[in-house]
Chain A
């Protein structure tokens, strides 16, 4: 039977889970309307790190730059802001696994049954970065961000192959999280802190949130000529404030 306490818990879940009019309501006579009920997006502003320590941030920037290295045409993960993106994500609902099913017990299942980790992404990063730091200092004598690019790549290759084990946290799981989160930072809208100046989109020719391609759908095998646009617009549309 449903008890009072679980109702209160459920009410809290609803607030987290609803994006519109968050209270139960009765609708009749007309389509309900309120201005922007789904809440406008937050622009992940530059500024101090929100989740990472300064040491962690240096390592994540170095990791991002090996996963997506800079080249002559396009910046790498660090300058694209991928570490800032991950920082803001880990500070937010993603970091705390908000909205996911978090009742135990956490049993080990088959691969097909999906992740059953008790660690939130924020905990995974905190523990994973600490374990990576210990590994690098013990095995290679320096922190990850102090290693040469070759040493960094070799370390990542070993992590990917499962050849490095961490104490108390799944090393390969930590690597897989990086491999998901860094490209997401490179390709998601700049309002989330990565893809700075839309460098990821420029690299491939994705026009962002440009929205009306009716004049171009029939122009076959012609490269779309216009530069990308972000949810926040474009820098060159915004006059500099003096």
Chain B
């Protein structure tokens, strides 16, 4: 029997970005808050000292900061009629582990979604007609709008000290920013980061083609910054070790560098690390969560009773805990019924690698940050007329110089042998004069009836619990979208004067070994209809009203941007609803 701990007001499962935001907001409201985190505590200065944090083998190749697959993994198949097999080592995405979650090792590319993204089905149907969407595409409106979220985007950007150039302040379009973005209430808190050579060439060429390039919004500091909680960050030094790594320089916005120091000072907050929640407990009615059960490193099982449960783990783990706790009806793709596991999505990325004359171009690819570079947004969302193209969705494309780490980034022209003297020479000749964007084509993945999560019927984790099974493949819509975007991207490199431009289209089948991004989305989505969504517009579970589920698992489909800005804005939005409405009258905020 689990040992029972004293009851608390709020228990938070997973102390990453949204867990930290929720904990801060609810502790601020006077509630006793306990966070439970599966992984270890991570401390900026001592876990990632600049003296050895820049170790490509240890962190990038051997995955030191991530969950170990032996702790838990997933099974994967492309099609419903295949047998799913376990992911034995990580590939297509990297599940985070530890305090700070993915916020520790992200690139800090900090975007807002487009206003039309939040009403995708309505918007696309109105513009192109219902028949334009593939029959098995299950995209939905979110139930929340850009205008709802704007103040919360703003809060997150000021928390993080996001460096960028506004393109639209209260409807006024500004030169140098993204003219397609939704209106923002004020400028970014910091100016853009400095742009390296490749990004400035890209900007010039993109302008020449008629596009409106702008610096990528970055959670890496362009200058020293003190955030509204009084926490200070230092200027980024462009060391080129962001994604997969921790920043010991206090230059990357992470929960540790922006919010945890202030949260820890609150006497009504505490956290447990190295403790894994195995279940959300329900009362006899099944309509009310009574708290959670977790296991510590000694194998002791504990029960933490709570009045309010915030589930804020990584996408798939949110879905897994709902399924294992019997909350919400599991999705059944055959019957097209149920909600938990539906509308699971990832991303559609591709790259263009360009080779320039080594006698004329030196790019210094190692002078980099997770989010320095130039992007264009002409082909994102519905910023262009999809009518002639026969697909929906899109993405930003950009020359973003994230790293010159040589194991990962040593491009050679096609046709070069994979080893031997010719390979060695090609690496040497091209390292300084090739451009291989860390983020190239960052495209959307829309949702489909046969792309979903459920529990595997065979493989188990170390606790004997079924692994989550991923069924996912690319659909024609995304393949067409990627071809169109990759071609547009390549035209810009051609205009920059590259000797050779290599298009690496994303092609099916979806491959679990090829890293795209860690932006898994959906599976416990928000919406307006309890028969097609697990959560209402406030991230509140339709069945268990004292459970809120934050994170990208709430996205009904994945738009063409990095998700963290929206993930965080949704957390602030939900926290505001809890504080303003739920606490006064605990219950369903929306009539189901």
Contacts and interface: CB of A to CB of B under 8 A. Distances in A.
Interface in A26-52: 26-38, 40-41
A160 interface: yes
Tell me the interface secondary structure of chain A in the complex.
Answer: loop
B70 A188 contact: no
Contact of B47 (A10, A19, A68): A19
A114 B47 contact: no
A56 to B, nearest CB: 20
A213 B462 CA distance: 45
A153 B423 CA distance: 13
A191 B98 CA distance: 26
Contacts of B420: 66-67, 69, 153
Given A25-B273, A220-B196, A160 B418 contact: yes
Interface in B61-105: 61-65, 67-71, 73, 76-78, 82-89, 91, 97-98
Contacts of A10: 71, 295, 299, 462-463
Interface in B337-387: 361-362, 364, 366-367, 372
Interface string A126-153: 0000000000000000000000000001
A115 B71 contact: no
7 contacts: A2-B465, A27-B41, A28-B269, A29-B264, A66-B420, A101-B73, A156-B419
A102 interface: yes
A194 to B, nearest CB: 9
Interface residues of B, number: 107
A112 B70 contact: no
Interface string A216-227: 111011111000
B260 A115 contact: no
B298 interface: yes
Contact of A20 (B40, B68, B86, B237): B40
Interface stretch (B51-59, B114-122, B490-498, B568-576): B51-59
B421 A69 contact: yes
A189 B512 CA distance: 28
Given A13-B71, A66-B419, A213-B238, A187 B200 contact: no
Interface in A51-81: 66-69, 71, 74
A21 B98 CA distance: 11
Contacts of B82: 110
Given A22-B297, A32-B43, A116-B85, A189 B57 contact: yes
Nearest to A14: B297
Contact of B463 (A2, A71, A224): A2
B419 A179 contact: yes
B419 A18 contact: no
Given A101-B73, A231-B51, 7 more contacts: A10-B462, A17-B70, A28-B264, A38-B48, A100-B68, A114-B513, A217-B367
B513 A214 contact: no
Interface of A: 1-4, 6-11, 13-38, 40-41, 66-69, 71, 74, 93-94, 99-103, 107, 109-116, 153, 156, 160, 179, 182-184, 187-189, 191-192, 200-201, 203-214, 216-218, 220-224, 231
Contacts of A31: 43, 256, 260-261, 264
A10 B48 CA distance: 26
Contacts, number: 299
A114 B88 contact: yes
A68 B237 contact: no
Contacts of A204: 406, 410, 427-428, 431-432
Contacts of A9: 462
Contact of A38 (B47, B91, B511): B47
A39 to B, nearest CB: 10
A2 B297 CA distance: 14
Contacts of A7: 295, 298-301, 463
A198 B73 CA distance: 36
Given A204-B427, A217-B196, A24 B273 contact: yes
B41 A20 contact: yes
A29 B424 CA distance: 54
